[in-house]
Protein backbone atom coordinates (compact mmCIF):
# COMPACT_ATOMS: atom_id res chain seq x y z
CA UNK A 1 0.00 0.00 0.00
CA UNK A 2 1.35 3.42 -0.96
CA UNK A 3 1.68 6.02 1.77
CA UNK A 4 1.28 9.79 1.32
CA UNK A 5 1.47 12.80 3.55
CA UNK A 6 -1.56 14.40 1.87
CA UNK A 7 -4.35 12.89 -0.22
CA UNK A 8 -6.84 15.14 -2.01
CA UNK A 9 -10.12 13.59 -3.13
CA UNK A 10 -11.46 15.25 -6.26
CA UNK A 11 -9.55 17.17 -8.94
CA UNK A 12 -11.95 20.07 -9.35
CA UNK A 13 -10.76 23.62 -8.76
CA UNK A 14 -10.87 23.35 -4.94
CA UNK A 15 -8.99 20.05 -4.92
CA UNK A 16 -6.39 21.25 -7.39
CA UNK A 17 -5.95 24.44 -5.39
CA UNK A 18 -5.32 22.43 -2.22
CA UNK A 19 -2.73 20.23 -3.93
CA UNK A 20 -1.14 23.22 -5.68
CA UNK A 21 -0.72 25.11 -2.40
CA UNK A 22 0.68 21.98 -0.72
CA UNK A 23 3.35 21.80 -3.42
CA UNK A 24 3.96 25.54 -3.11
CA UNK A 25 4.31 25.14 0.66
CA UNK A 26 7.03 22.52 0.13
CA UNK A 27 5.13 19.24 0.36
CA UNK A 28 6.04 16.81 -2.43
CA UNK A 29 4.30 13.71 -1.09
CA UNK A 30 0.76 14.61 -2.21
CA UNK A 31 -1.70 12.69 -4.37
CA UNK A 32 -4.99 13.75 -5.98
CA UNK A 33 -7.63 11.09 -6.61
CA UNK A 34 -10.13 11.82 -9.40
CA UNK A 35 -13.06 9.62 -10.43
CA UNK A 36 -13.25 11.11 -13.93
CA UNK A 37 -10.87 10.63 -16.83
CA UNK A 38 -9.52 14.19 -16.57
CA UNK A 39 -8.95 16.86 -13.94
CA UNK A 40 -11.11 19.98 -13.70
CA UNK A 41 -14.42 18.84 -12.26
CA UNK A 42 -17.20 21.28 -13.09
CA UNK A 43 -14.57 23.71 -14.42
CA UNK A 44 -13.16 21.45 -17.08
CA UNK A 45 -13.36 22.14 -20.82
CA UNK A 46 -14.02 19.75 -23.69
CA UNK A 47 -12.23 20.03 -27.04
CA UNK A 48 -14.14 18.75 -30.05
CA UNK A 49 -13.15 19.41 -33.66
CA UNK A 50 -11.63 22.83 -33.04
CA UNK A 51 -14.37 23.88 -30.60
CA UNK A 52 -13.73 24.32 -26.88
CA UNK A 53 -16.75 23.91 -24.63
CA UNK A 54 -16.82 24.81 -20.93
CA UNK A 55 -19.12 23.17 -18.44
CA UNK A 56 -20.63 26.51 -17.69
CA UNK A 57 -18.79 28.70 -18.57
CA UNK A 58 -17.10 29.93 -15.41
CA UNK A 59 -16.42 33.63 -15.59
CA UNK A 60 -14.22 34.77 -12.72
CA UNK A 61 -15.38 37.91 -11.00
CA UNK A 62 -13.67 38.39 -7.66
CA UNK A 63 -12.96 41.11 -5.10
CA UNK A 64 -9.95 39.10 -3.82
CA UNK A 65 -6.57 40.42 -4.90
CA UNK A 66 -4.96 37.10 -4.00
CA UNK A 67 -7.08 35.35 -6.63
CA UNK A 68 -6.31 37.92 -9.33
CA UNK A 69 -2.57 37.74 -8.65
CA UNK A 70 -2.69 33.94 -8.76
CA UNK A 71 -4.52 34.00 -12.10
CA UNK A 72 -2.06 36.51 -13.51
CA UNK A 73 0.91 34.38 -12.48
CA UNK A 74 -0.57 31.17 -13.83
CA UNK A 75 -2.22 32.36 -17.05
CA UNK A 76 -0.07 35.40 -17.90
CA UNK A 77 -1.12 36.75 -21.32
CA UNK A 78 -3.89 34.15 -21.55
CA UNK A 79 -5.86 35.85 -18.78
CA UNK A 80 -8.51 37.92 -20.55
CA UNK A 81 -10.51 40.76 -19.04
CA UNK A 82 -14.04 41.02 -20.40
CA UNK A 83 -16.87 43.53 -19.98
CA UNK A 84 -19.98 41.65 -18.96
CA UNK A 85 -22.80 41.39 -21.50
CA UNK A 86 -25.92 39.54 -20.35
CA UNK A 87 -29.54 39.48 -21.40
CA UNK A 88 -32.72 37.44 -21.04
CA UNK A 89 -35.80 36.51 -23.00
CA UNK A 90 -38.84 37.33 -20.87
CA UNK A 91 -42.49 37.60 -21.90
CA UNK A 92 -41.41 37.62 -25.53
CA UNK A 93 -39.04 40.54 -25.00
CA UNK A 94 -35.27 40.84 -24.83
CA UNK A 95 -34.35 42.68 -21.64
CA UNK A 96 -31.39 43.10 -19.32
CA UNK A 97 -30.30 40.45 -16.87
CA UNK A 98 -30.87 41.00 -14.02
CA UNK A 99 -33.98 43.18 -14.35
CA UNK A 100 -33.27 46.90 -14.39
CA UNK A 101 -35.66 49.73 -13.60
CA UNK A 102 -36.08 50.76 -17.24
CA UNK A 103 -36.97 47.17 -18.10
CA UNK A 104 -39.71 47.03 -15.49
CA UNK A 105 -41.02 50.46 -16.47
CA UNK A 106 -40.76 50.46 -20.27
CA UNK A 107 -40.05 46.96 -21.64
CA UNK A 108 -42.60 44.86 -19.81
CA UNK A 109 -46.25 44.99 -20.92
CA UNK A 110 -47.82 48.15 -19.39
CA UNK A 111 -50.30 46.12 -17.34
CA UNK A 112 -47.46 44.06 -15.85
CA UNK A 113 -45.37 47.17 -15.09
CA UNK A 114 -48.26 48.92 -13.34
CA UNK A 115 -49.18 45.80 -11.37
CA UNK A 116 -45.53 45.29 -10.37
CA UNK A 117 -45.15 48.72 -8.78
CA UNK A 118 -48.62 48.61 -7.21
CA UNK A 119 -47.86 45.20 -5.73
CA UNK A 120 -44.53 46.42 -4.36
CA UNK A 121 -46.10 49.47 -2.71
CA UNK A 122 -48.82 47.30 -1.20
CA UNK A 123 -46.18 44.95 0.19
CA UNK A 124 -44.19 47.80 1.73
CA UNK A 125 -47.30 49.21 3.40
CA UNK A 126 -48.10 45.78 4.80
CA UNK A 127 -44.53 45.54 6.06
CA UNK A 128 -45.05 48.60 8.23
CA UNK A 129 -47.29 46.52 10.46
CA UNK A 130 -44.60 43.83 10.73
CA UNK A 131 -44.85 40.24 9.62
CA UNK A 132 -41.49 38.99 10.89
CA UNK A 133 -38.48 37.85 8.89
CA UNK A 134 -39.05 35.84 5.69
CA UNK A 135 -38.90 32.10 6.35
CA UNK A 136 -38.44 30.87 2.78
CA UNK A 137 -37.35 31.94 -0.70
CA UNK A 138 -40.86 32.97 -1.79
CA UNK A 139 -41.46 35.17 1.25
CA UNK A 140 -38.07 36.87 0.78
CA UNK A 141 -38.83 37.73 -2.85
CA UNK A 142 -42.38 38.93 -2.11
CA UNK A 143 -41.08 41.05 0.76
CA UNK A 144 -38.46 42.70 -1.45
CA UNK A 145 -40.15 42.80 -4.87
CA UNK A 146 -43.89 42.34 -4.32
CA UNK A 147 -46.32 39.58 -5.21
CA UNK A 148 -46.69 40.42 -8.90
CA UNK A 149 -43.01 40.16 -9.83
CA UNK A 150 -42.82 36.96 -7.84
CA UNK A 151 -45.81 35.50 -9.71
CA UNK A 152 -44.63 36.36 -13.22
CA UNK A 153 -40.85 36.18 -12.86
CA UNK A 154 -39.06 34.97 -9.73
CA UNK A 155 -41.47 32.20 -8.82
CA UNK A 156 -41.62 30.41 -12.19
CA UNK A 157 -37.90 30.85 -12.90
CA UNK A 158 -36.84 29.62 -9.46
CA UNK A 159 -39.06 26.56 -9.79
CA UNK A 160 -37.62 25.85 -13.23
CA UNK A 161 -34.00 26.13 -12.11
CA UNK A 162 -34.25 24.28 -8.80
CA UNK A 163 -37.10 21.87 -9.43
CA UNK A 164 -38.93 22.65 -6.18
CA UNK A 165 -41.40 25.41 -5.25
CA UNK A 166 -39.71 28.52 -3.79
CA UNK A 167 -41.79 28.02 -0.64
CA UNK A 168 -39.64 24.93 0.02
CA UNK A 169 -36.31 26.76 -0.30
CA UNK A 170 -34.47 28.78 2.32
CA UNK A 171 -34.74 32.56 2.54
CA UNK A 172 -30.95 32.76 2.82
CA UNK A 173 -30.59 31.22 -0.65
CA UNK A 174 -32.62 34.09 -2.11
CA UNK A 175 -30.53 36.68 -0.29
CA UNK A 176 -27.34 35.06 -1.61
CA UNK A 177 -28.29 34.36 -5.21
CA UNK A 178 -30.59 37.22 -6.28
CA UNK A 179 -28.25 39.93 -7.49
CA UNK A 180 -30.45 42.91 -6.58
CA UNK A 181 -31.74 43.16 -3.00
CA UNK A 182 -35.06 44.86 -3.76
CA UNK A 183 -37.08 46.79 -6.32
CA UNK A 184 -36.28 49.99 -4.42
CA UNK A 185 -32.56 49.42 -4.95
CA UNK A 186 -33.18 49.03 -8.68
CA UNK A 187 -34.96 52.38 -8.68
CA UNK A 188 -32.28 54.13 -6.64
CA UNK A 189 -29.53 52.90 -8.91
CA UNK A 190 -31.46 54.13 -11.94
CA UNK A 191 -31.52 57.58 -10.37
CA UNK A 192 -27.85 57.66 -9.36
CA UNK A 193 -25.02 55.30 -8.53
CA UNK A 194 -24.45 57.42 -5.42
CA UNK A 195 -27.49 55.79 -3.89
CA UNK A 196 -26.03 52.30 -4.12
CA UNK A 197 -26.49 50.35 -0.92
CA UNK A 198 -25.86 46.87 -2.23
CA UNK A 199 -23.09 45.71 0.08
CA UNK A 200 -22.13 42.18 -0.89
CA UNK A 201 -24.69 42.21 -3.71
CA UNK A 202 -22.41 44.52 -5.67
CA UNK A 203 -19.92 41.63 -5.97
CA UNK A 204 -22.34 38.80 -6.67
CA UNK A 205 -21.49 36.93 -9.90
CA UNK A 206 -24.73 37.99 -11.62
CA UNK A 207 -24.93 41.51 -10.21
CA UNK A 208 -25.77 44.17 -12.81
CA UNK A 209 -23.17 46.36 -11.12
CA UNK A 210 -20.36 43.86 -11.71
CA UNK A 211 -19.00 45.10 -15.02
CA UNK A 212 -15.86 43.07 -15.70
CA UNK A 213 -14.65 39.53 -15.21
CA UNK A 214 -11.56 37.45 -15.95
CA UNK A 215 -11.51 34.47 -18.26
CA UNK A 216 -8.80 32.06 -19.54
CA UNK A 217 -8.21 32.42 -23.28
CA UNK A 218 -8.84 28.72 -23.95
CA UNK A 219 -11.68 28.21 -21.53
CA UNK A 220 -12.03 27.52 -17.85
CA UNK A 221 -10.39 24.13 -18.34
CA UNK A 222 -7.14 25.90 -19.15
CA UNK A 223 -6.93 27.02 -15.53
CA UNK A 224 -7.46 23.46 -14.28
CA UNK A 225 -4.99 22.02 -16.78
CA UNK A 226 -2.24 24.45 -15.80
CA UNK A 227 -2.77 23.82 -12.10
CA UNK A 228 -2.65 20.06 -12.67
CA UNK A 229 0.51 20.39 -14.73
CA UNK A 230 2.24 22.44 -12.03
CA UNK A 231 1.22 19.94 -9.35
CA UNK A 232 2.76 17.03 -11.25
CA UNK A 233 5.85 19.06 -12.15
CA UNK A 234 6.26 19.88 -8.47
CA UNK A 235 6.38 16.24 -7.45
CA UNK A 236 2.71 15.52 -6.76
CA UNK A 237 0.58 12.89 -8.46
CA UNK A 238 -2.88 13.03 -10.02
CA UNK A 239 -4.55 9.64 -10.43
CA UNK A 240 -7.64 9.61 -12.65
CA UNK A 241 -10.26 6.86 -12.83
CA UNK A 242 -9.93 6.45 -9.05
CA UNK A 243 -13.35 6.94 -7.43
CA UNK A 244 -13.04 6.76 -3.65
CA UNK A 245 -15.40 4.25 -2.06
CA UNK A 246 -14.28 3.98 1.59
CA UNK A 247 -12.19 5.87 4.16
CA UNK A 248 -11.14 4.43 7.49
CA UNK A 249 -9.56 6.54 10.21
CA UNK A 250 -6.57 5.19 12.14
CA UNK A 251 -4.27 6.48 14.84
CA UNK A 252 -1.62 7.83 12.45
CA UNK A 253 -3.28 7.93 9.04
CA UNK A 254 -6.44 7.38 7.02
CA UNK A 255 -6.86 4.36 4.80
CA UNK A 256 -8.49 5.11 1.44
CA UNK A 257 -10.03 2.50 -0.84
CA UNK A 258 -10.97 3.22 -4.45
CA UNK A 259 -13.55 1.46 -6.57
CA UNK A 260 -10.77 0.31 -8.90
CA UNK A 261 -9.21 -1.75 -6.09
CA UNK A 262 -6.38 0.72 -5.49
CA UNK A 263 -5.65 1.40 -1.81
CA UNK A 264 -3.46 3.98 -0.10
CA UNK A 265 -2.98 5.71 3.22
CA UNK A 266 -2.49 9.39 4.00
CA UNK A 267 -1.63 11.34 7.11
CA UNK A 268 -4.03 14.12 6.06
CA UNK A 269 -6.99 14.07 3.69
CA UNK A 270 -8.72 16.96 1.90
CA UNK A 271 -12.03 15.97 0.33
CA UNK A 272 -13.97 17.97 -2.26
CA UNK A 273 -16.61 15.36 -3.13
CA UNK A 274 -20.25 15.86 -2.02
CA UNK A 275 -20.18 16.09 1.76
CA UNK A 276 -23.05 13.68 2.32
CA UNK A 277 -21.35 11.04 0.16
CA UNK A 278 -18.15 11.54 2.13
CA UNK A 279 -20.10 11.05 5.35
CA UNK A 280 -21.37 7.65 4.16
CA UNK A 281 -17.86 6.45 3.21
CA UNK A 282 -16.30 7.16 6.59
CA UNK A 283 -15.46 4.64 9.30
CA UNK A 284 -13.56 4.89 12.55
CA UNK A 285 -15.33 7.61 14.54
CA UNK A 286 -16.65 7.11 18.08
CA UNK A 287 -19.67 9.18 17.07
CA UNK A 288 -22.64 7.67 15.34
CA UNK A 289 -22.81 8.38 11.61
CA UNK A 290 -25.96 10.47 11.00
CA UNK A 291 -26.26 9.03 7.46
CA UNK A 292 -28.18 12.04 6.20
CA UNK A 293 -28.80 12.89 2.57
CA UNK A 294 -28.52 16.33 1.00
CA UNK A 295 -30.05 17.03 -2.38
CA UNK A 296 -28.31 18.43 -5.44
CA UNK A 297 -29.78 19.79 -8.65
CA UNK A 298 -28.47 18.04 -11.74
CA UNK A 299 -27.64 19.66 -15.06
CA UNK A 300 -27.43 18.63 -18.69
CA UNK A 301 -24.92 20.63 -20.73
CA UNK A 302 -26.07 20.68 -24.35
CA UNK A 303 -23.19 21.84 -26.57
CA UNK A 304 -23.84 23.07 -30.10
CA UNK A 305 -21.40 23.61 -32.96
CA UNK A 306 -22.86 26.55 -34.85
CA UNK A 307 -21.85 27.52 -38.39
CA UNK A 308 -22.12 31.26 -37.71
CA UNK A 309 -19.51 33.69 -36.47
CA UNK A 310 -21.96 34.99 -33.85
CA UNK A 311 -25.54 34.31 -32.81
CA UNK A 312 -25.93 37.02 -30.16
CA UNK A 313 -23.58 39.72 -28.81
CA UNK A 314 -23.99 38.49 -25.20
CA UNK A 315 -21.86 36.23 -23.06
CA UNK A 316 -25.00 34.57 -21.78
CA UNK A 317 -28.76 34.83 -22.13
CA UNK A 318 -31.27 33.62 -19.54
CA UNK A 319 -34.60 32.01 -20.39
CA UNK A 320 -37.06 32.28 -17.46
CA UNK A 321 -39.97 30.82 -19.49
CA UNK A 322 -40.86 27.50 -17.81
CA UNK A 323 -41.94 26.02 -21.14
CA UNK A 324 -38.39 26.43 -22.47
CA UNK A 325 -36.33 23.40 -21.45
CA UNK A 326 -33.05 25.30 -21.03
CA UNK A 327 -32.40 28.02 -18.48
CA UNK A 328 -29.31 29.72 -19.90
CA UNK A 329 -27.31 29.92 -23.11
CA UNK A 330 -23.61 30.79 -23.22
CA UNK A 331 -21.81 31.73 -26.43
CA UNK A 332 -18.14 30.89 -26.05
CA UNK A 333 -16.61 33.00 -28.81
CA UNK A 334 -17.97 36.07 -27.04
CA UNK A 335 -15.70 35.06 -24.15
CA UNK A 336 -12.70 34.27 -26.33
CA UNK A 337 -12.19 33.96 -30.09
CA UNK A 338 -9.98 30.93 -29.42
CA UNK A 339 -13.03 28.87 -28.42
CA UNK A 340 -14.14 27.97 -31.96
CA UNK A 341 -12.81 27.76 -35.54
CA UNK A 342 -12.89 30.97 -37.56
CA UNK A 343 -16.37 31.91 -38.73
CA UNK A 344 -18.06 29.58 -36.23
CA UNK A 345 -19.21 29.72 -32.62
CA UNK A 346 -19.92 27.28 -29.83
CA UNK A 347 -22.96 27.45 -27.57
CA UNK A 348 -23.83 25.74 -24.31
CA UNK A 349 -27.47 25.37 -23.31
CA UNK A 350 -27.94 24.48 -19.64
CA UNK A 351 -30.87 22.19 -18.89
CA UNK A 352 -31.80 21.81 -15.19
CA UNK A 353 -33.15 18.45 -14.10
CA UNK A 354 -33.05 15.86 -11.34
CA UNK A 355 -30.83 12.81 -11.48
CA UNK A 356 -32.56 9.97 -13.34
CA UNK A 357 -35.73 11.95 -14.07
CA UNK A 358 -37.37 11.99 -17.51
CA UNK A 359 -35.20 14.81 -18.83
CA UNK A 360 -31.99 13.24 -17.52
CA UNK A 361 -32.78 9.95 -19.31
CA UNK A 362 -34.09 11.53 -22.50
CA UNK A 363 -32.73 10.06 -25.74
CA UNK A 364 -30.15 12.40 -27.35
CA UNK A 365 -32.08 12.70 -30.62
CA UNK A 366 -35.31 13.49 -28.78
CA UNK A 367 -33.51 15.99 -26.55
CA UNK A 368 -31.99 17.69 -29.59
CA UNK A 369 -35.43 18.02 -31.19
CA UNK A 370 -36.88 19.48 -27.99
CA UNK A 371 -33.98 21.88 -27.52
CA UNK A 372 -34.05 23.19 -31.07
CA UNK A 373 -37.83 23.52 -31.02
CA UNK A 374 -37.63 25.69 -27.90
CA UNK A 375 -34.67 27.67 -29.28
CA UNK A 376 -36.62 28.54 -32.41
CA UNK A 377 -39.74 29.47 -30.44
CA UNK A 378 -37.58 31.80 -28.38
CA UNK A 379 -36.31 33.38 -31.61
CA UNK A 380 -32.78 32.43 -30.55
CA UNK A 381 -31.46 29.66 -32.82
CA UNK A 382 -32.33 27.95 -36.09
CA UNK A 383 -31.60 24.25 -36.42
CA UNK A 384 -30.06 24.71 -39.89
CA UNK A 385 -27.20 26.67 -38.28
CA UNK A 386 -26.18 23.68 -36.15
CA UNK A 387 -23.59 21.31 -37.58
CA UNK A 388 -23.18 19.06 -34.54
CA UNK A 389 -23.97 18.67 -30.85
CA UNK A 390 -22.66 16.98 -27.74
CA UNK A 391 -24.25 16.22 -24.38
CA UNK A 392 -22.64 16.09 -20.91
CA UNK A 393 -24.62 15.21 -17.79
CA UNK A 394 -23.55 16.40 -14.32
CA UNK A 395 -25.29 14.75 -11.37
CA UNK A 396 -24.06 17.08 -8.60
CA UNK A 397 -24.22 20.49 -10.27
CA UNK A 398 -25.74 22.72 -7.57
CA UNK A 399 -26.44 22.29 -3.84
CA UNK A 400 -30.21 22.45 -3.35
CA UNK A 401 -31.05 24.74 -0.44
CA UNK A 402 -34.26 23.11 0.73
CA UNK A 403 -35.83 24.00 4.04
CA UNK A 404 -34.14 21.97 6.74
CA UNK A 405 -30.88 21.47 4.85
CA UNK A 406 -28.98 23.71 7.31
CA UNK A 407 -29.75 21.40 10.23
CA UNK A 408 -28.76 18.34 8.22
CA UNK A 409 -25.54 20.02 7.11
CA UNK A 410 -24.69 21.01 10.69
CA UNK A 411 -25.08 17.41 11.87
CA UNK A 412 -22.92 16.09 9.04
CA UNK A 413 -20.21 18.67 9.77
CA UNK A 414 -20.33 17.79 13.46
CA UNK A 415 -19.72 14.15 12.56
CA UNK A 416 -16.88 15.01 10.17
CA UNK A 417 -15.33 17.06 12.95
CA UNK A 418 -14.61 13.81 14.80
CA UNK A 419 -12.01 12.95 12.12
CA UNK A 420 -8.98 15.15 12.96
CA UNK A 421 -7.13 14.13 9.78
CA UNK A 422 -9.93 15.14 7.42
CA UNK A 423 -11.13 18.39 5.82
CA UNK A 424 -14.12 18.81 3.50
CA UNK A 425 -13.91 21.89 1.26
CA UNK A 426 -15.17 23.34 -2.02
CA UNK A 427 -18.66 23.66 -3.50
CA UNK A 428 -19.59 20.01 -2.95
CA UNK A 429 -17.45 19.55 0.13
CA UNK A 430 -19.09 22.45 1.97
CA UNK A 431 -22.51 22.23 0.28
CA UNK A 432 -22.18 25.87 -0.74
CA UNK A 433 -22.99 27.46 -4.07
CA UNK A 434 -19.57 29.05 -4.51
CA UNK A 435 -17.75 30.17 -7.63
CA UNK A 436 -14.23 29.68 -8.96
CA UNK A 437 -12.61 32.36 -6.79
CA UNK A 438 -14.03 30.96 -3.57
CA UNK A 439 -13.19 27.41 -4.67
CA UNK A 440 -9.56 28.49 -5.12
CA UNK A 441 -9.47 30.16 -1.73
CA UNK A 442 -11.03 27.23 0.12
CA UNK A 443 -8.44 24.92 -1.42
CA UNK A 444 -5.56 27.24 -0.53
CA UNK A 445 -6.87 27.60 3.03
CA UNK A 446 -7.14 23.81 3.46
CA UNK A 447 -3.49 23.38 2.45
CA UNK A 448 -2.36 26.19 4.75
CA UNK A 449 -4.20 24.55 7.66
CA UNK A 450 -2.26 21.35 6.97
CA UNK A 451 0.96 23.31 7.14
CA UNK A 452 -0.09 24.66 10.53
CA UNK A 453 -0.99 21.16 11.76
CA UNK A 454 2.21 19.46 10.56
CA UNK A 455 4.88 22.07 9.68
CA UNK A 456 6.67 21.13 6.47
CA UNK A 457 10.45 20.95 6.39
CA UNK A 458 10.96 20.48 2.68
CA UNK A 459 12.32 23.38 0.60
CA UNK A 460 9.91 25.27 -1.60
CA UNK A 461 9.26 23.16 -4.70
CA UNK A 462 9.89 24.71 -8.06
CA UNK A 463 6.70 24.77 -10.14
CA UNK A 464 8.41 25.37 -13.47
CA UNK A 465 7.36 23.30 -16.46
CA UNK A 466 9.33 20.09 -17.03
CA UNK A 467 9.10 17.58 -19.88
CA UNK A 468 8.34 14.73 -17.45
CA UNK A 469 5.02 16.16 -16.26
CA UNK A 470 2.13 13.72 -16.70
CA UNK A 471 -1.22 12.91 -15.16
CA UNK A 472 -1.90 9.23 -14.65
CA UNK A 473 -5.20 7.83 -15.85
pLDDT reported for residue 205 = 46
Could you report the per-residue pLDDT of 350-375, keeping only the tens digit for each?
999 999 999 999 999 999 999 999 99
Could you report the per-residue pLDDT of 375-416, keeping only the tens digit for each?
999 999 999 999 999 999 999 999 999 999 999 999 999 999
Q: How far apart, in whole angstroms, are the C-alpha atoms of residue 15 and residue 12?
A: 5
Q: Is the pLDDT of residue 468 over 50?
A: no
Higher pLDDT, 199 or 285: 285
Q: Is the pLDDT of residue 431 over 60?
A: yes
pLDDT reported for residue 465 = 35
Read off the pLDDT band of 96 (50, 70, 90).
Answer: confident
Residues 209-236 have a mean pLDDT of: 93
How high is the mean pLDDT of the chain? 89
**What number of other Cβ atoms are within 10 A of residue 151's Cβ?**
15
pLDDT reported for residue 125 = 85
Q: Is the pLDDT of residue 28 over 80?
A: yes
Task: Kindly report which listed range (50-54, 191-195, 251-255, 389-393) carries the lowest average pLDDT score.
Answer: 191-195
For the chain, percent of residues with pLDDT exceeding 90: 76
Residues 157-181 have a mean pLDDT of: 89
pLDDT reported for residue 57 = 80
pLDDT reported for residue 222 = 98
Read off the pLDDT band of 337 (50, 70, 90).
Answer: very high
pLDDT reported for residue 108 = 86
Angstrom CA distances, 274 to 70, 277, 397, stand at 26, 5, 10
Containing 238, the helix (H) or strand (E) segment is strand 237-239
Could you report the per-residue pLDDT of 247-256, keeping only the tens digit for each?
999 999 999 9
Residues 86-107 have a mean pLDDT of: 85
**What number of other Cβ atoms are within 10 A of residue 402's Cβ?**
18
For the chain, percent of residues with pLDDT exceeding 70: 89
Could you report the per-residue pLDDT of 438-448, keeping only the tens digit for each?
999 999 999 99
pLDDT reported for residue 199 = 44
Residues 116-120 have a mean pLDDT of: 90
Q: How far apart, in whole angstroms, are the C-alpha atoms of residue 250 and residue 266?
A: 10
pLDDT reported for residue 265 = 98
Residue 24 backbone zone (phi > 0: left; psi -120 to 50: alpha; other: beta) = alpha
- Domains along the chain with CATH numbers: 2-41+65-74+217-294+405-453 (3.50.50.60), 98-210 (no CATH), 296-399 (3.90.660.20)
DSSP code at position 151:
I
Could you report the per-residue pLDDT of 241-282, keeping only the tens digit for each?
999 999 999 999 999 999 999 999 999 999 999 999 999 999
Task: Kindly report which listed range (86-90, 300-304, 413-417) carries the lowest average pLDDT score.
Answer: 86-90
| CB-CB contact of 265 with 246 (8 Å) | no
Q: How far apart, in whole angstroms, are the C-alpha atoms of residue 213 and residue 80?
A: 8
Task: Kindly report which listed range (249-263, 307-321, 353-367, 459-473) carries the lowest average pLDDT score.
Answer: 459-473
Read off the pLDDT band of 454 (50, 70, 90).
Answer: low
Phi, psi (degrees; rounded to nearest 5) at 429: -70, -20
Read off the pLDDT band of 118 (50, 70, 90).
Answer: very high
Amino acid sequence: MEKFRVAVIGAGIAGLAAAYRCIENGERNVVVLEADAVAGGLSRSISDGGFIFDLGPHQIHTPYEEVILFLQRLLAADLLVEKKRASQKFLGREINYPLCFNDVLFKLPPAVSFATFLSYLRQQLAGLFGKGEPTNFAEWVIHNFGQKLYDVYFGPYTTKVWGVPPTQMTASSAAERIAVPSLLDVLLNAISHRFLRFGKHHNLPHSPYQRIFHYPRRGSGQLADLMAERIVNGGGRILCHQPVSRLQSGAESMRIECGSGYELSAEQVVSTIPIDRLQLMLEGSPRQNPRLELRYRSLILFFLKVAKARVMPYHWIYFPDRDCIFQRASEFTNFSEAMAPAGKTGICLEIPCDYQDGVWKMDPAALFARVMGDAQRQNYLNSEWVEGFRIVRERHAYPLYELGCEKKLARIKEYLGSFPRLQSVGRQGEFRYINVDDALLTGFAAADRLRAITPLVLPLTCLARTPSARILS
